[in-house]
Chain A
């Protein structure tokens, strides 16, 4: 990529540090290089500007001491609640603005990471390795050549893999990380320049015994059976074309872990849990984007995934265990074609069409083997001037469900077709250089998962589908003077979720009790203030975050819980992040605060969860090493230390799942 291309991109965007990151990772910048005339540049403006900016984003390679898991990145996004069951291998899901995790789509390079079985994406499994930009859209992400599914979820988290930037013919990174809970996390990444194609190979392993002390009434117990072993192997090809680019990624992940179970009263001699799960995820994912003419571009994306889970309660080790020994094999195929037409600059129209097939084979339940075929089509139109932009989208989703069963009995009545229209509109207006406003209005819908429909023995298979209507406004202020720059965001919103499905863990994290609690009205405000200082080797940043969420159960006016706050949603939450850098040193301090919550819609003292706050601190240092021989790039050594839960607070995000106390991780990284 030429320096000119980078500069053009920076010019088009706001002069924040993130812009550089986007410029480096975004494929459309390649096109910008060819923008020779003003007219052409104008056409590209339609394509380059996302209509609204993400609510939050972070460029991970720019973070001095990035957390190991994507879940820990999202924890510091305003308005996001990470449901964390504790421990290195514990389940971590996100909900955004009181929308359940099923409404939060997680996308890797535009392709949804989904799980038809339970629609829960465990963000604890996502390594930050190889990820460039992580962004959160509370409303509608809208830019050219999105997959249709990117238009179809209530809120979305986007992970963009980082395209390797090689100075020499090859390059790489070795990292060793380890510390508390017997955690050892080595990883390796190696890039090779093959001319028009760049190869990236990476591997990462995690082992941890997962034991930690926690208080249980008047005693102290040790969290047992929370150990994990995992291995990730990945290789990716990044290709450049004259008018586009392509990517191909092969991914393999395997893990074996214990579920420590909820902490409850248990007779002496019986463990809390002996449950184990072994899983394997394989996928092949690719994309090809081509600008056929300055006015017409396409993007083709696909994914084939094969996931396997073996879940065993091990009754021979735990007399309290129900004797489950189950196997789940899920396969999916996904194909997406996105087309973008510039009708008349700056007016463009996008048509995206996705087709997905999911199949689940299992010996659980009645051995039903559900199949689901989903068509998603999105028609989007955008008008994008620099200061004023508007986009409208109409998404249609149709899902055919059916299943095979050894004895085709009455169960087949569950063969059903579900469909939904999901319209949305986004607006952007920047009246002054220092002020941007955007707003959105959106309806989205989520399909019931296979677990909801077929396997939830502990709960309710007669669930209604869940739909969400969202409206939101963002006001962003920006000011810079001398070494100081300030940014602020004020985002009021309203969400109405009807037939909201609440997932409550049963005695095992693997099974959920599902509950339709009817209608929930959420009124909230997100506030974010960001101040930066940059001068002569010094950098400093302070971020203040605050979220107000009034998420009320409005299901049944005659019900006893009408008007109460829904479970696990704090009315007040927020945090403070402080960062400082001096030459090769960097320091950070993060405090996350969650206000009082209830674990039931009955907001009674019995179900009250006390407010908590935890703070993490980190220190890192970069050491530049001399370049060797014929290599242009000098190797870099980076050493870092993170202390999590500095004040050793005991707290629970989910009731019955105590979180670890103070812990230490040390990392050493060598990049060449």
Chain B
């Protein structure tokens, strides 16, 4: 409330000075000062979603205001004090769409829509076990692990009724961008994770992260489900590799998929699917092994990984590289992290890297440019997902 009041006072004060655009309500938020020289001018803010620990209700939203180089911690709670419980439990994905900031709060069952200008809440949409986001012109699409609700539906009070409960396959839910209401769902594979839109199709990475722990098969999924957005049906599925995680569309027909591997014999890695072949089949090729974190920037996928990933006790040496048009290029970026957790790309040279530390206490975000470390700030617990505004 006080913050809102401050925001209003500032708004009034600014009007007196007859500045054309009123400053954002979050302009009063203070934080750690960092050096942002050389940051691309197109970037106003860098948002970071900290996942928090499962069951600890400590997902937090940080942002870096590029105009004055201020890194603000815990912005959601500061800008939305009326949401007493805070952002919620396990932040799992973040995306900017227009002037809206979309957050997936996995274990709260909420897709949170905020104003990207000032982080105030626009809508909180209930979605069971939501994981990741993609958009087209009309809808937001959210992957969900809640396979139990294949044929379930909401009533007018927002409660679910369930008809099929023992099907652990996941869903993609569709949310109308205008009304912020659910508008149907479609069943995909086991425990879907990443999702990307390209050319009227959605590409969904199915992990099988839970089914790998369950009888009778103890098997990961290894498919990408392709959904046609017009009919909102799964068209086909493409076999790639076990335990798929992120999907990136490079905007020219290439779809990149990362795998976490099976933590035992199959290494993590990056795969490329060609989608515009005349034959109708989708050739899959492996780009490289060892992907710990990855991010898309423009038509290029950036990856950082280590070849000692199965040795959990080792001090890892990380290699960074990028892929454009299927061509891999090493980067001169030397990252050091206790637990490398996320990657944000500001341009081809400026990177933000999240370090989860002990996964339990607040982690850090470090900025690298020219391959070298520039600064490090304190973030939240498990700094996991970046978005640019």
Contacts and interface: CB of A to CB of B under 8 A. Distances in A.
Interface of A: 216-218, 261-270, 315-317, 319-325, 363-367, 410-411, 457-458, 460, 462, 504-508, 513, 515, 517, 559-561, 599-602, 604, 606, 655-656
A325 B210 CA distance: 11
Interface in B165-190: 165-166, 168
19 contacts: A262-B89, A264-B55, A264-B108, A265-B88, A266-B89, A269-B157, A270-B109, A315-B148, A319-B146, A319-B149, A320-B109, A320-B128, A320-B129, A323-B168, A323-B210, A323-B214, A325-B214, A517-B360, A600-B361
Interface stretch (B38-46, B79-87, B249-257, B326-334): B79-87
Contacts of B137: none
Given A265-B86, A366-B218, A560-B362, 6 more contacts: A264-B55, A264-B89, A315-B165, A324-B214, A365-B213, A602-B362
Interface in B294-328: 312-313
B358 interface: yes
Given A323-B147, A504-B53, A600-B361, A269 B160 contact: yes
Nearest to A657: B55
Contact of B109 (A216, A218, A266, A655): A266
Central interface residue in A217, A263, A265, by most chain B CB within 10 Å:
A265
Which A-B residue pairs are the 5 nearest by beta carbons? A217-B84, A316-B165, A319-B128, A267-B126, A265-B88
B358 A264 contact: no
A270 B126 contact: yes
Contacts of B378: 560
Contact of A322 (B157, B210, B358): B210
Contacts of B148: 315-316, 319, 321, 323
Given A319-B149, A506-B55, A656-B57, A265 B105 contact: yes
A496 B127 CA distance: 47
Contact of A363 (B74, B84, B215, B361): B215
A145 to B, nearest CB: 42
**By DSSP majority rule, is chain A's interface helix, strand, loop, or mixed?**
loop
B98 interface: no
B139 interface: no
A367 B215 contact: yes
B222 interface: no
B56 A655 contact: yes
Given A270-B128, A322-B145, A264 B214 contact: no
Contacts of B105: 265
B152 interface: yes
A268 B210 contact: no
Contacts of B157: 269
B231 interface: no
A290 B213 CA distance: 50
A508 B54 CA distance: 9
Contacts of B265: 410
Contacts of A316: 148, 162, 165-166
Nearest to B215: A363
A541 B105 CA distance: 53
Nearest to B381: A600
A265 B88 CA distance: 5
B356 to A, nearest CB: 12
Contacts of A363: 214-215
A265 B360 CA distance: 19
Interface string B54-84: 1111100000000000000010000000011
Interface residues of B, number: 56
- Determine the main DSSP class of B at the interface with A: loop
A560 B85 contact: no
A410 B266 CA distance: 13
Nearest to B110: A267
Interface of B: 53-58, 74, 83-89, 105, 107-110, 124, 126-129, 145-149, 152, 154, 157-160, 162, 165-166, 168, 210, 213-215, 218, 264-265, 312-313, 357-362, 378, 381
A269 B84 contact: no
A458 B360 CA distance: 12
Nearest to B144: A319
Given A265-B85, A365-B213, A604 B147 contact: no
Nearest to A603: B361
Nearest to B147: A323
A309 to B, nearest CB: 15
B88 A264 contact: yes
A78 to B, nearest CB: 29
A506 B160 CA distance: 25
A268 B126 contact: yes
A463 B127 CA distance: 35
Given A216-B85, A515-B358, A267 B109 contact: yes
Contacts of A263: 57
A390 B358 CA distance: 43
Given A265-B105, A324-B214, A504-B360, A319 B55 contact: no
Contacts of B210: 322-324
A265 B108 contact: yes
A601 B361 contact: yes
A592 to B, nearest CB: 25
Contacts of A325: 214
Contacts of B84: 216-218
Contacts of A261: 55
Contact of B158 (A217, A269, A365, A411): A269
Contacts of B213: 324, 364-366, 457
Contacts of A517: 358, 360
Nearest to B106: A320
In this complex, which of B126, B213, B361 has the most chain A Cβ atoms within 10 angstroms of its Cβ?
A: B361
Contacts of A602: 361-362
B87 A367 contact: no
Contacts of A600: 360-362, 381
A588 B148 CA distance: 51
B158 A266 contact: no
Most chain A CB within 10 A, of B160, B213, B264, B313, is at B213
Contacts of A606: 58, 74
Nearest to B313: A462
B158 A268 contact: yes
Contacts of B152: 319
Contact of B56 (A218, A270, A458, A599): A599
Given A265-B86, A267-B110, A319-B129, A513 B362 contact: no
B57 A267 contact: no
Nearest to A567: B360
A315 B74 CA distance: 32
A267 B144 CA distance: 14
A316 B57 CA distance: 24
A315 B264 contact: no
Contacts of A264: 55-57, 85, 88-89, 107-108
Contact of A410 (B162, B264, B360, B361): B264
Contacts of B128: 270, 319-320
Given A410-B264, A462-B312, A265 B57 contact: yes
Contacts of B86: 265
A266 B108 contact: yes
Contacts of A324: 210, 213-214
A367 B214 CA distance: 9
